[in-house]
Chain A
Amino acid sequence: SQQGEEDPQALSIQEGENATMNCSYKTSINNLQWYRQNSGRGLVHLILIRSNEREKHSGRLRVTLDTSKKSSSLLITASRAADTASYFCATDAGGEAGGTSYGKLTFGQGTILTVHP
Chain B
Amino acid sequence: DAGITQSPRHKVTETGTPVTLRCHQTENHRYMYWYRQDPGHGLRLIHYSYGVKDTDKGEVSDGYSVSRSKTEDFLLTLESATSSQTSVYFCAISVDQGQPQHFGDGTRLSIL
Contacts and interface: CB of A to CB of B under 8 A. Distances in A.
Interface residues of B, number: 29
Contact of B45 (A33, A43, A105, A110): A105
**Do most interface residues of chain B lie in helix, strand or loop, or is the interface mixed?**
strand
Interface in A1-58: 2, 4, 30-31, 33, 35, 40-45, 48
Chain A interface residue number, banded: 20 to 34
B90 interface: yes
Interface string A95-111: 00000111111111110
Contacts, number: 71
A102 B40 CA distance: 25
Interface string B26-51: 00000101010000111111001010
A41 B100 contact: no
A107 B43 contact: yes
B105 A41 contact: yes
Interface string B10-38: 00000000000000000000010101000
Given A103-B101, A109-B42, 5 more contacts: A43-B90, A90-B43, A103-B98, A104-B33, A107-B44
Interface of B: 4, 31, 33, 35, 40-45, 48, 50, 56, 58-59, 90, 92, 94, 96-106
The 4 closest A-B pairs by CB, nearest first: A42-B103, A103-B97, A45-B100, A107-B43
Interface of A: 2, 4, 30-31, 33, 35, 40-45, 48, 88, 90, 92, 100-110
